[in-house]
Amino acid sequence: MCDFCTFSMQIDMQSKKKYIHRNLYKVLLLTVLMLKSIVAVPTSRQKVKEDETDLDLPIGDARKCQTVKNVDIERFGVLPGLGWDNLRNLEAGLVVSYKYTECKETDDGVYLIPDNVFTIPIKNSKVESFAQIIDNWNSASSLTANSINIGAGVSLSKYGISGMFSRDHEELRSKQIEDKSSTFRAQLRYPRYEAKLQPDAELSPQFKNRLLSIAVKIELNQTSQAEYEAQLLVRDFGTHVLTSVTAGAALVKEDYLSNDMISNSKATKKSYLASASVSFLSIFKISSSFGITSQADRRDAYSSATTYSVTRAIGGPMYDPESSNLSAWVKGIEKNLVPLDRAGEPLSSLVKQQLLPELPLSTIDALEKVVQGSIELYYEMNTYRGCTKLDDPNFSVSANVEDGSCGTKPTPLRFGGVYQTCTVHGSTYYRNPCDGLRQVNPKTGTYSCPPFYTAVLIQTFYQRVVTETETNCRGCGFLWLSTCCDTKHIVATATYSAYWCAATASAQPNSGYFFGGFYTPTQDNPLTGSTVRL
């Protein structure tokens, strides 16, 4: 008996030890994550002695390389590793940490580059020159982020809205709608370098801290807080990380031509594209060198159809077509490089064990899903489906994704009237909170739909709180010579619901009403263009 008791006590002690060990591991893990989220890397500056010179500079500072090499070499400024908002085409917070401990240079020795970046010089002398027609803003490509907009990622490509909230895209879209025009774009592009990010580059302290903070919330089963912080991560660091950037400069001209004049003209789109190229190149007096020609009457037709035109220089020195020389401008590109194209991966691709060794695999998997979900939510919340064809009767000005409604024949909406019911909750004496809130269906004279129509709830409201008081007095006290009163407060609320009557398949063709649109004192009816009834 005693042996059995001893054996049982040993088992209980072992179970308690395992339980304590599991919980101790979890506590230690959370403690480490919290400490990591507060202090991921040392931030204090360190004194380093190089060549017997005391430099008060942090390890990896680019200025140390300039001192050691005793040369004023410039840092390469068009770098990958930044966060990127792929809807607005904007650079966001720094995702990857830049260090210059190796003092690496570009192959031509012109620029200093970080340890985790390498460059590929574009040595060919070919200049990219082409013209394109953009007859719908949804088909417009970005001048500086085309690759990352197209290759947004498998789960994000289905939305098809990358880059649609950029300033350039919004400008193109508004001009096309305002002028009912198509865009002819001609450009000269001068790529010089392609800068690429090394795989598994070290994360920046700020970005890593945010990931670890989300991981802590996941470990504590604070799912809502983890999702909220992941949404803030997308807000501050974008949807993607830039893994490759093409550096160079470009000259671009965009002409907006009236759709009516294009459709009524006998000229082909090919001839219009040729005229666009000639119009662009003639600004720089180099059209003959590219062998592009256009007949005078075609150029005149092109010019008369143009409603708006804009010419811009992307990178390079300041360019003035009236006084600048193109060859001199091209020579100044090397010192004025800007991104001409960008490529990247979703931020969630950085959530992996190589970059977050502090986390167990289960937490990394959960963290990756939370970050990816926040990116997809950002895309979904900014997706507006509808008809995007400008000249279609079903055109929706707010739509940015085609839903197949273009070309469908509009049909009048038949309905069997509207009505509104109201229910009182509580007691009332003199004031009814439903007064003025009940509305019978003018078609039936009741709170119902006519035959072959079904009621569809529009909205239910909860308000109209009414408070009343009732005072009851009675004789009380000695010989009932005093008066005692009791005051009773009565509260009542109203719940009112609005319905409309939708036709069923059995409804007669001429029964019911035809919907004529909505309007308010400040908002026109889209069917009439005014606040006047049909």
**pLDDT for 204:** 96
Give 72-113 pLDDT, tens digit per residue: 788 999 999 999 999 999 999 999 999 999 999 998 889 999
Residue 333: pLDDT over 60:
yes
Domains in the chain: boundaries: 60-386, 415-514
Rounded CA gap, 197 and 113, in Å?
11
Q: What value does the mean pLDDT take over residues 123-127?
A: 61
Q: What does the pLDDT average to over 434-447?
A: 92
Q: For residues 286 and 123, what is the distance between their CA atoms, to the nearest angstrom?
A: 22
Predicted confidence at residue 456, as pLDDT, reads 93
Determine the pLDDT at residue 488: 78
Place 30 in a pLDDT band, splitting at 50, 70 and 90.
low
For residues 341 and 331, give the distance between their C-alpha atoms in angstroms, rounded to a whole number. Answer: 21
Strands 306-314, 338-346: pairing kind: unpaired
Q: Between these two residues, 251 and 525, which has the higher pLDDT value?
A: 251
pLDDT at 15: 52
pLDDT of residue 510: 74
Pairing of strands 48-50, 53-55: antiparallel
User: Which stretch, 316-330, 350-364, 503-517, has highest mean pLDDT?
Assistant: 350-364
Measured CA to CA, the distance from residue 201 to residue 99 in angstroms comes to: 11
More confident position, 7 or 162: 162
Please give the helix or strand (H or E) that residue 79 lies within, else none.
none
More confident of the two residues 442 and 470: 442
Euclidean distance between CA atoms 235 and 348, whole angstroms: 14
What are the phi and psi torsion angles at 460 (to 5°)? -115, 135
Closest CA to 97 of 241, 310, 226: 241
Q: Residue 355: pLDDT band by 50, 70, 90 thresholds?
A: very high
* pLDDT bracket for residue 50 (50, 70, 90): very low
Q: Minimal CA–CA distance to 475: which of 466, 460, 485, 467?
A: 485
Give the model confidence (pLDDT) of 269-312 as tens digits.
Answer: 788 888 888 888 787 766 555 555 556 777 778 888 889 999 89
The total of other beta-carbon atoms located within 10 Å of residue 497's CB is: 17
